[in-house]
Amino acid sequence: MANEFKVTPWTVTGNVDYEKLTKEFGTEPLTDEILNRIKRHTKELHVLLRRKVFFSHRDMKWLLDEYEKGNKFFLYTGRGPSGPVHIGHLIPWIFTRWLQEKFDAELWFQFTDDEKFLFRKKDEVGIGEYTKIAYENALDVIALGFNPKKTHFLIDSLPETAGMMYKEAIRIADKITASTAKAAFGFDDSYSIGQFFYTAMQAVPAILPSALKGVNIPCLIPLGVDQDPHFRVARDVYTKLGFYKPALIHAKFMAGLLADGKMSASIPNSTIYTTDSPKEVEEKIKKHAFSGGRTSLEEHRKYGGNPDIDVCYQWLYNFFEPDDKKLAKIYDDYKSGKMLTSELKDYTIAKINAFLKEHQKKREKAKSQIEKFLFKA
């Protein structure tokens, strides 16, 4: 049977074939040529670039051309505050922080409490619940080390943000037909008009600094590839309104603990949250992490394991073991049967818990910093 997968901003299912997705979405592969151009400015490549976790883009060549002409860009990314943040969400944000530092760029970060209200599954929850979650999630973003002087948080439903964004959102919404939204997102007539409108809100921050300053500024959006369709729909609209199209750089998904699919907050057993205790991380990984090991110790020693399908190995590869030599040794030892599944799991648990220990400390500190990050007109 053909490998069926689906990627929309609200649903990711199946085993994603990223090459096929690049063609389907009409994006471009992130080639070595572009990586080398980035490296010329940053001196080194972030592990997420080296390992091709970021794998695809739109208009990166244009963005770099502009940068090399002295036309600096700003960064834009975001979070839909539906619940606690998991370690998969951190992937685009960690990379964004690195870009902020290397390119000395401003960042606009959008928290879409309106989106989560409009796409919620339970009727009884009011928008204020999602606004509260946005403040909680903001702590995780701050904990990653963004520069408060150059970072602006937008929480969509807050009056100041909403008032500022609405003028641009209606101009964008005016140019997107219902049939375009249906084709891009798979909506049908049962979707609310709020859901149809929402894309306009996510499109706004890519032009907001340009609109506020009255001068066009290039924009780069690092994001998980599931969020690409919003910007695909908005691309032509930006130019119709006299703005640049933003450049995009897309990440693959960090796998969930289970055999299939991305880490997703709606499947708790698939997920390590940033607030999990060391014990919880240990238990989840020991109990649920899909392994490429053999069924018995004898078989594992004799035939070896399969790192390519092992979730712990994937996480080390993605981000948690940046040392290429150590990673290669783990790969070889696991494949040959010298390293056991329990050893690979223990190694990964230690890496993730060390990361989370630091993250949680910074997250606590962030509680007194949040005001510095909220955008004020």
Instruction: State the residues that interact with ligand TYM by CB under 6 A.
Output: 9, 77-80, 88-89, 91-92, 110, 112, 115, 202, 221, 223-224, 226-227, 251, 253-254, 262-263
| Beta carbon nearer to ligand TYM, 77 or 274 | 77
| Beta carbon nearer to ligand TYM, 86 or 294 | 86
Which amino acid, residue 374? L
| Beta carbon nearer to ligand TYM, 110 or 151 | 110
Phi, psi of 249 (to 5 degrees): -135, 120
Give the separation between CA 203 and CA 43, rounded to whole angstroms. 32
Nearest to 281 by CA among 352, 357, 334, 222: 352
Radius of gyration (Cα) for the chain, nearest Å?
21
Could you tell me the smallest distance in angstroms from the CB atom of residue 346 to ligand TYM?
A: 23
| Beta carbon nearer to ligand TYM, 224 or 293 | 224
Give the separation between CA 23 and CA 223, rounded to whole angstroms. 18
Could you tell me the smallest distance in angstroms from the CB atom of residue 65 to ligand TYM?
A: 23
- Give the nearest residue (CB) to ligand TYM: 224
Could you tell me the smallest distance in angstroms from the CB atom of residue 226 to ligand TYM?
A: 5
Nearest to 147 by CA among 90, 104, 115, 87: 104
Task: Calculate helix-pair angle for 127-143, 87-103, nearest 10 degrees.
Answer: 60
| Beta carbon nearer to ligand TYM, 29 or 261 | 261
- Contact between 191 and 227 under an 8 Å Cβ cutoff? The reply is no
Give the separation between CA 43 and CA 326, rounded to whole angstroms. 23
Could you tell me the smallest distance in angstroms from the CB atom of residue 69 to ligand TYM?
A: 25
Give the separation between CA 253 and CA 23, rounded to whole angstroms. 17
Give the separation between CA 303 and CA 349, rounded to whole angstroms. 25
Could you tell me the smallest distance in angstroms from the CB atom of residue 209 to ligand TYM?
A: 14
Helix ranges, 174-310 (H) = 178-185, 193-203, 208-213, 228-240, 278-288, 297-303
Could you tell me the smallest distance in angstroms from the CB atom of residue 79 to ligand TYM?
A: 4
Token reading at 173? 């919404």
Could you tell me the smallest distance in angstroms from the CB atom of residue 305 to ligand TYM?
A: 23
| Beta carbon nearer to ligand TYM, 40 or 132 | 132
| Beta carbon nearer to ligand TYM, 38 or 225 | 225
